[in-house]
Amino acid sequence: MKRFFFLLGGILFLSLPANAQFNANPIINLENKDKNLLNYGYFLGFNQYGFKFSYENDLGDQNTDIQVLESIGFNVGLIGEMRFNEFLDLRIEPGLYYNART
């Protein structure tokens, strides 16, 4: 009986987001926003650098010569876009990608 209520509750809980797509006041996209001559924005992100080796001739030696430590960094930058016509844009994305390798 507990299993039935748990299953029923799970189904009801997972079906609630299905109504989020159909709202009485839907958000309408700005249809003409991309038709401007110049558009701009920014981007933020995180990155993780690492490198993995697969040794084919592993003779059981646990003391390998190459050891790479993974490191985490961030990136930030600007986005500039110039519209030439309906099918051609020029996009420039200068940015800073920072990560420390050891």
Q: What is the pLDDT of residues 63-97, one digit of tens each?
A: 666 667 788 899 999 999 999 998 999 999 999 99
Q: What is the mean pLDDT of the chain?
A: 81
pTM, 2 dp: 0.54
In this predicted structure, the answer to whether residue 58 has a pLDDT above a threshold of 70 is: no
CA 75, 71, 79: angle at the middle one, nearest 5? 10
Question: Strand locations in 33-92, DSSP E?
Answer: 38-49, 71-85, 88-92
Query: What is the model's pLDDT at position 93?
Result: 95
